[in-house]
Structure 1
């Protein structure tokens, strides 16, 4: 039509969500109009902010509107107001949008106050002259421009430029976080299951989406790629690694009587499968993940129903194995009632439990180990920073900020504070932080023996504690990181079973993690330990305040 025009925030939210754009910038958002509590004149911006999973960067609510009532509507719609949660907001799959309001720059605040005075005068004049309905906004805008001699227009231009600067920074950081989410040093999604097979399809030339990321068009077409299959799952990975190190863990799990279940048993003869329940009517757990050429995860599909077959009855059936073990390792793929059943048995026998949270959504199951109507067992846990955040929220009254998105010393300090707080419930926490290494917070000093069962007794909560950060040596050859966290845990547990000191246990864990990232399989066939001194081993650094 040859005309210039633009979309509203509402229209842009819908278009951005469909195009895969994560962040966009505007001046101010619409809201409840002056007198809107009588006329019900409310912008569609507020409704779509509660529906579209997109981050809108703005200077706040347009000042010509009823700001107070607009904020009440925003709160009702469930819109977040902090940029730090943008990545986690996306990871949690929330259906609402994210609103980030940028303060007016200091050099324009005086100008803003004079414009606000003009707005108040214009609103008063509109009421006195009986202007109502859809005529209110055009009247106020024209009158404010007149009263300020055009200064309001220039102020709005500066405001949009400032919003664009901050919005671009948010978009760049968010893109970095999304690009790196497929490169974490632990299994993701259902790669962390009791017994599973993983298929990975990788595209060499992924299509770019509108947001500048990587995407695959969902149009029913076939794409050239590479497919690899391997055995995975947190429980299976740890049992596999410990078996390769000469231990004989009793692996309690469930598989189907299908081809996949037969294959996982036949191809892992070094493992003890006697405690694994084989179900006729269920499929062995499996997970397919699509990654692009950068290693970033696009999406995954998992079939995990068989995890429900790990019942309290199955736990009870293997009571003798559990109560005679020096350590019981569980993961959050196990149903909560079964975790509680294991906790009761272990607490009575003095057998410590090692809880692996597996991912941030499942980390809340840590509560099942503590609220089963019994004295809790001695507890170890190995969360990453995001899972630590979830556990702190689930087990304490605290509602911390998104500290797992911090970097460097800020991340270390936040993880230290959170893990020390959780020592009320846990004897020892091993917090894995990717390239930032691992942090161990525990009751007692780093040189004191860690408890094993049966008959283990934890040091009381509230006594002396220690917190040690172990930096990681950068791997020279990274092929696959999906089993690194599980192999680290297996190495640490192996040292624990051998009666080694904490520092030596960490050394073993880091050895195995470096071997794991250099191999396509989650657990290398050649996995081995060397207790010779490592000249590249980073000494632990105390992080107590």
Structure 2
């Protein structure tokens, strides 16, 4: 029968791939001898019934296994297959209100975007409740109307009717292909679909005949104590016996019929993929992750998202091991505490926070991480985890023979970092060609880079961005005090020919950046850097304003930054990075930005709930048209919600802030506050609100046991 099914699929223009476990290894596509072996061992009872819960056990014990609908969906999705055919669907068993016996097929349909072509739920089930359950899971269910009948019912496996009306019906398989394509590939929904094909009239059995047999079989199952996953094979065996083999004959024929229908749907889906389907004109929606490249038979189990991406984050992804020691710590000795492992890395953290924040705003913006992992177990596990979270992993390169990056940190009981060790050697390598390929593919509006990249690699990337993607905001995250000085080795250019638009350092990282630029001799540039700095109006008069403001009540933060020299250092860095958002921990955030129309800030009302504690501007060169260049300095205190936090770790606090901010830098001109021209009051107020909520995101992660708090997705 299995060979006949594969032949029917080939005869109808599609490629079959029968799924099974052989010696604990999952296969998508079997050789003829493997099919024969499975048929033989199944008759001897030496085969496991494998659903989602049974995967690990079957693999660990090297068992042979037949796959349920749930597991076939999982394997199909991993292999990039969008459609599969089967006999009957699992569902809600009769008396499930007492036994809670509900097939895992139904929950899998709610979370895996694969289309199941079947002859309806098995006749032994409560078909009405099965349909209710699928509706709750958001699963499309449609029934093929093969004879133009007015009221179409969901088929009942052996029977053309079940007494349960089908929510939808269709009369061509091209219609189904269009429905599935829009559901999964256009709208990006991650639920599956159930396509019911009634058994042909010449092979279908009478529903009254079958129901009588089923009632008797259910009573016998109770008497002999059959339960769980053994119920279905027991009942089907009893039905086969009591129908004198007619049910088996019917089953084989409608499986062949379903395979023919599935092949037609697969061909229709390929046509949709090639031609494309118009998306709603008012929104650009993210297509489905894991979309099949139907032109490549046997596509490997990797996700491929749409080419375009709103934001590309270029940086590290690593395995993080976070240790927390007790209140009394003894250096040079073993200390009791707790150890947790997770996926981390600055690039990953930023992209995850951006992903969560985009979910919160219900935005259509997408964020793609571009990075590199080894082909070791850690690297493959990381990619698999991202795919399971519906995070775009298509920009991650798997490098043969390389080891995945790792980061290990030890924290005190109050969450403060004691010491950390980072092995980021793989990210230090030259994979600029891969990054550039991904940038051209995505054509992003924002590019975020962390300083784990080697400067030589970053320079190749920045040069390509300047030449080919100069519309994009380029944001650099210094990563650490030690690596912040790397920014000085970048070919940044000087405003207005700058490549970088924003950096988000701490005060210590500002000092490191300043020292690096000084050592590189970049403050000796009297042709570009000095004229620009002179044009910003940071003169004696402006410094007097700063000193006067710092002496006022409640401006101790400004006074501290002046006494430490942080502001003075930041001023000299601005020509290279025209926006600096300096993270001050418990003291909030200080922003410094070059403006080409500083006088417009005089008319910004400060009635916003998110207004800065102060806003100070310098007035420099007057440009053509009468606008004035200068620097805008603003201070944003930490939100009240962030005071008295129960801090668990500080690993991802800054990354959470930046990820949230990037998610709010939409493609509209009035939302891009990194540009030197102030477009509107709404633009500035939008920036204030984004900075406030970005700090809230940071606070959520400070209180989280993970580096990036999932609660960010609720921060609207």
Aligned mate of 1:261, from 368, 379, 391 = 379
Count the aligned residue pairs. Answer: 314
Aligned mate of 1:288, from 402, 408, 421 = 408
Distance 1:362 1:301 in 2: 13
Aligned mate of 2:449, from 325, 330, 343 = 330
Distance 1:373 1:381 in 2: 14
Cα shift at 1:296: 4.4
User: Are positions 1:415 and 2:566 aligned together?
Assistant: yes
Cα shift at 1:276: 0.7
Match of 2:589 in 1: 438
| Cα displacement string for residues 179-218 of structure 1 (whole angstroms, at most 9, x for unaligned residues) | xxxxxxxxxxxxx96101211223326455xxxxxx133x
| Cα displacement string for residues 235-257 of structure 1 (whole angstroms, at most 9, x for unaligned residues) | 10111111223332221100112
Distance 1:195 1:470 in 2: 30
Do the aligned residues in 2 keep the contact of 1:197 with 1:286 (CA within 8 Å)? yes
* 1:154-173 matches, cutoff 5 A: none
Distance 2:317 2:475 in 1: 18
| Cα displacement string for residues 438-478 of structure 1 (whole angstroms, at most 9, x for unaligned residues) | 111001259699xxxxxxxxx99992210101111324332
Do the aligned residues in 1 keep the contact of 2:493 with 2:499 (CA within 8 Å)? no
Match of 2:47 in 1: none
| Cα displacement string for residues 299-326 of structure 1 (whole angstroms, at most 9, x for unaligned residues) | 333322111345222223224146x211
User: Are positions 1:380 and 2:529 aligned together?
Assistant: no
Do the aligned residues in 2 keep the contact of 1:195 with 1:235 (CA within 8 Å)? yes
Match of 2:431 in 1: 311
Q: 1:529 to 1:411 in 2, by over 3 A?
A: farther
Distance 1:430 1:347 in 2: 22
* 1:212-223 matches, cutoff 5 A: 215-217=331-333, 223=335
Q: 1:255 to 1:302 in 2, by over 3 A?
A: same
Match of 1:368 in 2: 489
Do the aligned residues in 1 keep the contact of 2:315 with 2:370 (CA within 8 Å)? no
In structure 1, runs of 5+ residues without a counterpart are 1-191, 209-214, 400-406, 450-458, 532-545
Match of 1:358 in 2: 479
Give me the TM-score of the superposition, normalised by structure 2.
0.41
Please provide the CA RMSD for this pair: 3.2
Do the aligned residues in 2 keep the contact of 1:257 with 1:280 (CA within 8 Å)? yes
Aligned mate of 2:657, from 466, 485, 488 = 488
Give me the TM-score of the superposition, normalised by structure 1.
0.53
Distance 2:515 2:385 in 1: 41
User: Are positions 1:242 and 2:354 aligned together?
Assistant: yes
Distance 1:228 1:480 in 2: 12
Do the aligned residues in 2 keep the contact of 1:512 with 1:528 (CA within 8 Å)? no
Cα shift at 1:369: 3.0
User: Are positions 1:393 and 2:542 aligned together?
Assistant: no
In structure 2, runs of 5+ residues without a counterpart are 1-313, 359-364, 525-555, 605-621, 672-682
SS of corresponding position for 2:457: helix
Do the aligned residues in 2 keep the contact of 1:331 with 1:357 (CA within 8 Å)? yes
Match of 2:323 in 1: 201
Distance 1:371 1:514 in 2: 32
SS of corresponding position for 2:322: strand
| Cα displacement string for residues 111-145 of structure 1 (whole angstroms, at most 9, x for unaligned residues) | xxxxxxxxxxxxxxxxxxxxxxxxxxxxxxxxxxx
User: Are positions 1:526 and 2:647 aligned together?
Assistant: no
| Cα displacement string for residues 378-406 of structure 1 (whole angstroms, at most 9, x for unaligned residues) | 4210011011011112224679xxxxxxx
Larger RCO (CA within 8 A; separation ≥ 6): 1
User: Are positions 1:426 and 2:557 aligned together?
Assistant: no
Q: 1:373 to 1:276 in 2, by over 3 A?
A: farther
Distance 1:373 1:437 in 2: 28
